[in-house]
Structure 1
Amino acid sequence: MISGLLILAAQTVPAAPTERPMVVVDERTVMREEPTPHGRIGTSTAYRISDAVPVRTMEFRKRVLHVGAAIGPHPLAHDEVYYVLSGEGVVSSGAETKPLKPGMAAYLYTGATVGIRQVGKTPLTLIVSYPIVTGAAH
């Protein structure tokens, strides 16, 4: 009887999850020139880094907003972070606007209408990251 219970217990223990291998992406392989998202306000260089990662739960992208470009106002269906690598920009969330410079990040919340524009003489280089929400517009 005891051996039967041990066999039954062993059969109901869930298997350990299979560890997925890491994915290394060279940004040069995912780079493309395109209009900016959310309004096509100027041009940008997009590095769609996480697009090369299968079965992911987040987006991780680098985007260079060329001089005069902007990611137009759009509502968020998820929290989102803009991190500035170089250049200068102005980020908006609702009626609030703030300047951004290298080393600064803007944490933006679900439900806010947000946007960012390049200002100054040099392009604005950003890292943009957010969780994937099924059925959400990015």
Structure 2
Amino acid sequence: MLSFTVAVMILSASLEESHPAPASPPAGVGRVIHEADTMVRQTPPHNGTGMSTAYRISGGVPNRSMEFRKRVMHPGSSIGLHLIAHDEVYHVVSGEGDVTTDGVTTRMKAGDTAYLYDGGNVGIAQVGEDDLVLIIAYPLARRVD
């Protein structure tokens, strides 16, 4: 039978594994962002084509260290090829698109995710009749307001 002290040590270690301490103190108070408050219609970035609806979801969050966005690529639109200086993720919510990274183009559909690496030359084009809805996330070089 385990002693009480040994049992407490095992339980404590188990709790630390399932609930690790945060890596650093919080940089601010958490907040909820309403997507509709962040919407803007615009030509897609990086010499893109066509029109899109952008949701700069994290754009108004002070002292943030990452960007989290949603972009609806309307038929015929594209985000032009551009070099990225960070890892970046494109997740397809709905529709279809062709993502290009370093000269390789791959068709993506709902549920697919492209993990794009720092230094890559990347872009994405909407294909088909339906809007391509993307979630895009990437870290910032430093915290910004």
Where on the TM-score scale, by shorter chain, does this alignment land: which range?
0.7 to 0.9
Partner of 2:82: 74
Question: For 1:23, what is the secondary structure of its paired residue?
Answer: coil
Give aligned pairs, total: 119
| Identity rate, percent | 50
- How large is the RMSD of aligned CA atoms in angstroms? 1.4
Amino acid at match of 2:51: T
Aligned to 1:12: none
Q: In structure 2, the residue corresponding to 1:21 is in which secondary structure?
A: coil
Which 4+ stretches in 1 moved above 2 angstroms? 16-20
**Residue 110 of structure 1 is aligned with which of 97, 118, 138?**
118
- Report the equivalent of 2:62: 54
| Displacement after TM superposition at 1:52 (Å) | 1.6
Q: Residue type of the partner of 1:73?
A: L
User: Unaligned regions of 5+ residues in structure 2, if any?
Assistant: 1-23
Please report the TM-score for the alignment, with normalisation by the length of structure 2.
0.79
> 5 Å matches for 1:18-29?
20-29=28-37
The whole-number CA distance in structure 2 between the counterparts of 1:51 and 1:128 is: 13
Decide whether aligned partners of structure 1 residues 17 and 125 sit closer, same or farther in structure 2, where only a CA change above 3 A counts: closer
Partner of 1:129: 137
The TM-score normalised by the length of structure 1 is 0.83
1:43 aligns with 51
Q: 1:41 to 1:23 in 2, by over 3 A?
A: same
Task: Work out the CA distance in 1 between the residues paired with 2:53 and 2:30.
Answer: 25
Deviation at 1:20, TM superposition (A): 2.6
Q: Are 2:100 and 1:92 equivalent residues in the alignment?
A: yes
